[in-house]
Amino acid sequence: MNRGRAAARLAGTKVNDLEHSSFLESAVIMVPSLTGMNLSVYTGDPSVLAQFQDRFCFSPQLQPIYTQTGLDKFFADSSEAAIYHIAESLGTRLIILCAKEYSLLLGPYVEDGWRERAARRLLAELGASESALPMYKAYRCQLPVVQQDFAVRTAFLLAENLRDGPWVIEPRWFQPRGLGSGLTFADAYANASEVNLRYWLEDRVVEAMSQGDAEIVRQALTDMGKASTGVRFLSDSLQDQVASAAMTRTLIRLGAKRSGLSPVLVDSISQEYAQKMHRSISKKEMSRLMSELIERFCAEIRDRRRSRLSPAVRRAADYMEVNLSKSMTTAEIAQAAGEERQRFVRQFRRETGMTVKEYLADRRCTVAAQLLLDSEASVQDIAAFVGYPDNNYFSKVFKTCLGVPPQTYRNTHGKAGPSL
């Protein structure tokens, strides 16, 4: 949704226009997208408070107000039609709107970015050890940086659309408890296994890209998405998808550069797709562009590998490229390379990482995929053009190489425009 229209809708929706529940459903989606701040709706369901604690409580002793027990007690003592602006010892802020039938939790947020010296001093004052610093950094940096005035204005905007005034704002400061008694931290930060998994998957993306293996790159990115569901900038919102795409492009660039591609070429391709992704209007389009970027780099890497091939294998690759439309046997290709068949087969696989048959199928399917996007030729005609007179067999080989049948590939990716 366009941000201007979304803001206008949020500002213009009144209670008499739609039920509270409908407005809240919209607000839960729109507020995080527009402000970066979490918005939780509490109507008495304890699971909401448990989820809030799991996501936002770094230490139960230092942030008792962020625990399920602390919030439950707070709501029991709160007043109706009140907006509470809460500050706690670790420097985060939370706004709670209390109404008769529900309460809203806006945040938490922080008012400034990460400053390590200040963070180290704060933790020391609270009795935490130096070992808590990396965990605290991971926690604090996941929160949005928001100015207090903006957060308060957002809270009043929500309040005015939910209930006629007057609303009273009340600041609250929550002291930590149990200092010096052995602080504990949330598993999400005390347990490094999830962080280690994400970094291992990032390394896997870089390594697979350096080898030009698009399939493993895609799988590693899928696994990264599953391992990063709680990480800021990796949600399903388009704004976060753009940020996530920028991080993913960095990994892909590193892998492409490691493969030996020219930095100038790597930067050129990356900037081309950065521009396209910045103008993307949907998650589906973003995914399509990322897939194209991966294929583009992998194709360049395969081409560079060919330049490193021994003379015999290069002759074979060139022969296959020129004769893609023709039927050819491994023996014929070995003869074109000037080598004995068995020796050639071993040498070809050692240098390319593929059998002759796999390499030929890969090249044919790469050309076919481009023709499916750039031309209006039928699948059968394209199959014949790249050396597969049997359309059914071509579809089977194409699906093995690219994961989907030819027609599905064309329908999914759409016809490309003319080359510039």
DSSP for 283-318?
Answer: HHHHHHHHHHHHHHHHHHHHHHHHHHS-HHHHHHHH
Q: Report which residue type is found at 62.
A: L
Instruction: State the pLDDT at residue 188.
Output: 64
For 315-374, what is each residue's pLDDT tens digit? 888 889 888 888 899 999 999 889 999 999 999 999 988 999 999 999 999 999 989 988
Average pLDDT over residues 135-148: 89
Instruction: State the pLDDT at residue 177.
Output: 66
Instruction: State the pLDDT at residue 310.
Output: 85
Average pLDDT over residues 104-127: 92
Residue 9: helix, strand or coil by DSSP? helix
- At residue 13 the predicted structure's pLDDT band, cuts being 50, 70 and 90, is very low
Average pLDDT over residues 88-94: 94
Instruction: State the pLDDT at residue 1.
Output: 39
Rg (CA), the chain: 28
Instruction: State the pLDDT at residue 196.
Output: 74
Q: Any idea which residue has 């039928």 for tokens? A: 378
- Helix pair 341-352, 311-322: axis angle to 10 deg: 90
Two tokens, residue 173: 């400061």
Check pLDDT > 60 for residue 229. Answer: no
Average pLDDT of the residues of the chain: 83
Cα torsion 380, 384, 386, 388 to 10°: value is 90
Check pLDDT > 80 for residue 266. Answer: yes
Where are the alpha helices (H) located in 107-147, listed in sequence order? 116-125, 132-140
Check pLDDT > 80 for residue 384. Answer: yes
For 269-288, what is each residue's pLDDT tens digit? 888 898 888 887 777 888 89
Residues 6+ apart with CB under 8 A from 259: 209, 210, 211, 212, 301, 304
- Helix pair 356-374, 341-352: axis angle to 10 deg: 60
- At residue 40 the predicted structure's pLDDT band, cuts being 50, 70 and 90, is very high
Of the listed ranges 13-22, 32-41, 206-215, 246-255, the least confidently predicted one is 13-22
- At residue 10 the predicted structure's pLDDT band, cuts being 50, 70 and 90, is very low
Instruction: State the pLDDT at residue 164.
Output: 65
For 62-82, what is each residue's pLDDT tens digit? 999 999 999 999 998 888 888
N- to C-terminal Cα separation, the chain: 31
Instruction: State the pLDDT at residue 91.
Output: 93
Higher pLDDT, 18 or 176: 176
Check pLDDT > 70 for residue 14. Answer: no
Residues 6+ apart with CB under 8 A from 294: 209, 214, 217, 218, 252
